[in-house]
Amino acid sequence: MNRSIATGVGALCVALIAFVPACAPSHADRIVIGSKNFTESFILGELLAQEIEGHTHLKVERRFYLAGTYICQQAMLAGRIDLYPEYTGTALTAVLKRPVGGDRQSVYNQVKNEYESRFNLTLGPSLGFNDTFAMEIRGEDARRLKIGTLTEAAAFAPQWKAGFGYEFMERPDGYRGLVKTYGLRFAEPPRIMDLGLLARALNDHQIDFAAGNATDGLIPALDLFVLADDKHYFPPYEAVPVIRKQTLELHPEVAAALANLYGQISDQEMRQMNYAVDHQHKDVREVVAEFLRRKNLNR
């Protein structure tokens, strides 16, 4: 009796092992695109998806809202996704664990080379904008005080209250370095707040100086001014598609589709798309489709 049970269980296992893979479609005729779990990444993922759908015969599967850089990197290595949008600065520090430094081109090259040699991952051409840290003040203050750069702003810092997100305070390439590079001294220790509330607090005069993202949709909407990083303290965070080498070999037409997007999105355009999704609650697919239409990029 024991033997027949063992045989039955064994047969069931073999059947399962043979059957389940048959359900999962192969990557031969489709491409899986991932994104992280914030709006901008979502928009870029959708952009890549629609571009590839428009210019190739490939079926695109979307796996958005993956919980972070590490998850996306692991998914790429395991072949669960083929392509996702990353930032050069993030790739440099979070994935390659290298110190920050250098201008846009050198960072791009360094990341591209190391990704190829270490992970067999290819970096596509930059999408155009630089989503680095933005030091924001109210537009009216910038015009009144006639300042445009952080160096100029340093003179007024003692009169200001500053607000930052928790991560910015903790990162080595965040608050500490900023203060050192520009010699900033604020009236009191900075308030630490949730990222989403910083822009509003700035607008409501609760704070006068905040750190946000360069492509934040609220910048044009609330008439906020981004002070120029004239000492080039902040590392570049260019948006680039990262794609598996095997995927490119299997589907070379994807390279052409990605090349179409080279430099197509300016900082301002990214801000507008972010604003449309986050604050006007428009559908991401429509926002991206509209963008592609305007740029004559869709088929």
Q: Identify the helix (H) or strand (E) that includes residue 239.
A: strand 239-244
Q: How far is CA 17 from the centre of its chain?
A: 38
The residue (of 73 and 264) whose beta carbon lies closer to another protein is: 73
Q: How far is the CB of 164 from another protein (least distance, A)?
A: 24
Q: How far is the CB of 169 from another protein (least distance, A)?
A: 22
Q: Which of 270, 252, 280, 240 is nearest to 48 (CA)?
A: 240
Residue 125, judged by CB atoms within 10 A of its CB (0-12, 13-18, 19+), counts as: middle
The residue (of 20 and 57) whose beta carbon lies closer to another protein is: 20
The residue (of 226 and 242) whose beta carbon lies closer to another protein is: 242
The residue (of 20 and 299) whose beta carbon lies closer to another protein is: 20
The residue (of 6 and 155) whose beta carbon lies closer to another protein is: 6
Q: How far is the CB of 54 from another protein (least distance, A)?
A: 21
Backbone angles phi, psi at 138, to 5 degrees: -70, 145
Q: How far is CA 246 from CA 31, 127, 249, in A?
A: 11, 22, 5
Amino acid at 47: L
The residue (of 16 and 169) whose beta carbon lies closer to another protein is: 16
212 and 198 in contact (C-beta within 8 Å)? Answer: yes
Binding site for another protein (CB under 8 A): 1-2, 5, 9, 16, 20-21, 23-25, 37, 61, 63-67, 70-75, 77-78, 80
Q: How far is the CB of 1 from another protein (least distance, A)?
A: 8
CB proximity list for 55: less than 8 A, separation 6 or greater: 253, 256, 257, 260, 299
Give the Cα separation of 222 and 201 in Å (integer). Answer: 11
Lookup result for tokens 């990214």: 270
The residue (of 72 and 210) whose beta carbon lies closer to another protein is: 72
Q: How far is the CB of 8 from another protein (least distance, A)?
A: 9
142 and 225 in contact (C-beta within 8 Å)? Answer: yes
CB proximity list for 297: less than 8 A, separation 6 or greater: 51, 54, 260, 261, 264
